[in-house]
Amino acid sequence: MIPSEPNPTTTGNPATQWLAGPNPGKLGSSSAQLNRWSRARVIRSGRKLDRPAQRKQEQHTEVDDQQLHRLEGTNLSISSSYCSSSSSEDGTGGETEETPGTGKEIFLVSDGSGRTAEHSVNAALGQFEHFLVDRGCPVNTRLFSGINDVDRLMEIIIQAAKEHAILIYTLADEKMANSARQACKTWGVQSTDVLRPITKAIASHLGVSPSGLPRGAPGRKFPLTENYFKRIDAIEFTIKQDDGALPENLPKADIVVAGVSRSGKTPLSIYLAQKGYKVANVPIVKGVELPKSLFLEVDQNKVFALTINPVMLQTIRRERAKSLGYVRDEKSNYAEMMHVREEVDYASKIFAKNPTWPVIEVTGIAIEEIAAIILRLYQDRKHGCSMPTISKLY
């Protein structure tokens, strides 16, 4: 049931008591220094961007803590990214005054996995990259997936009102969507229904009413099509071919990706595999010969080269080494700038000797965008579109 009027002083309603608290519970943050390329790449791929946090420690009331614990215990699937935020007290109860650079909240609500809402928001955020990067990433996104009852939906909307968040939702059930719309209006929450306009347009075009059932709901049929099994085969093949394994199978690949270590070959390959393409990736290491089958048996129109800025590559390699627990070792030059530049130059010379390989610049580019470039070129070549006879940088 939707509250008829937002009354912060109402008692007996735990969700309303939580809203009445002076400060919303924050789930914490961490910090890291990334250069502008790295920040842009993270934002455009929708991953977490950590920044130095400068927050005042505030006392939470007992009700705040109890209700935060209650929400965390409701099996809501929450995916959060937090950036720096600043708060100021005006002496009237700890209200937070929003200023440029302060974190803006975006709540994503879905009755399924939330994939549609995430992709839509990430695509939209890409239009504000200049602001997000230069002003310190003032956007915090939280995903609430599997929301299939009104009570849980109301808790999220009330929390959105407390945190002055915008609510983006994809709810297949029209009653749930209407409840969300009415509750957001009641509580003064800005909201957008991503699914409804598209669903209505397609329903009108087909002349058929939508089922109103979310993905995975009982009653929805998912036939095991040829494309489904093709994707499974592609994923299995790609995993086995990772990092240059089984070079004798290179001719069986639909797409071959070549590049230096940490240029994004593996995540790109897996992403393409999920679209049904068998992908093999070949690492380029200075002093190590590439497999002969890459040149003699593989259709050169299927090979795509990745290049990356040495400064960015060094940053990625250092983070990778740190995550694996490696400390600086004089015996290892994996993340040393001189070695990084030599490997990038070595790879560039190989690309120049193979002019049919398109060279894709991946610095600051999301995996999805790199994949889109590769698939566009792949389809152009497959359908006989003309391609330049010299290496071209994309």
pLDDT higher than 90, residue 233:
yes
Paired with 280 in beta bridges are 256
Task: Give the tens place of pLDDT for each residue, 160-203.
Answer: 999 999 999 999 999 999 999 999 999 999 999 999 999 999 99
Task: Give the tens place of pLDDT for each residue, 93-145.
Answer: 333 334 444 678 999 999 988 989 998 998 898 888 777 766 666 788 999 99
H-helix or E-strand spanning residue 296? helix 293-296
Ordered structural domains, the chain, with CATH: 14-206 (no CATH), 226-382 (3.40.50)
- CA–CA gap between residue 232 and residue 230 (Å, rounded): 5
Paired with 141 in beta bridges are 106
Instruction: Please answer whether residues 240 and 270 qualify as being in contact, where contact means their C-beta atoms are separated by less than 8 angstroms.
Output: no
pLDDT higher than 70, residue 249:
yes
The band of 41, judged by pLDDT with boundaries at 50, 70 and 90, is: low
H-helix or E-strand spanning residue 121? helix 115-125
pLDDT of residue 364: 87
pLDDT higher than 90, residue 80:
no
Task: Give the tens place of pLDDT for each residue, 51-64.
Answer: 444 443 444 434 44
pLDDT of residue 261: 92
Long-range CB contacts (within 8 A, 24+) of 216-219: 216/112, 217/172
Task: Give the tens place of pLDDT for each residue, 355-384.
Answer: 999 999 999 888 999 999 999 999 888 877
pLDDT of residue 221: 65
Say what percent of the chain tops pLDDT 90. Answer: 49
> Which whole number is the average pLDDT over 286-301?
93
In terms of pLDDT, which residue wins out, 247 or 214? 247
pLDDT of residue 72: 39
**Tokens (6 digits) for 63:** 């009700």
> Which whole number is the average pLDDT over 216-242?
83
pLDDT higher than 90, residue 218:
no
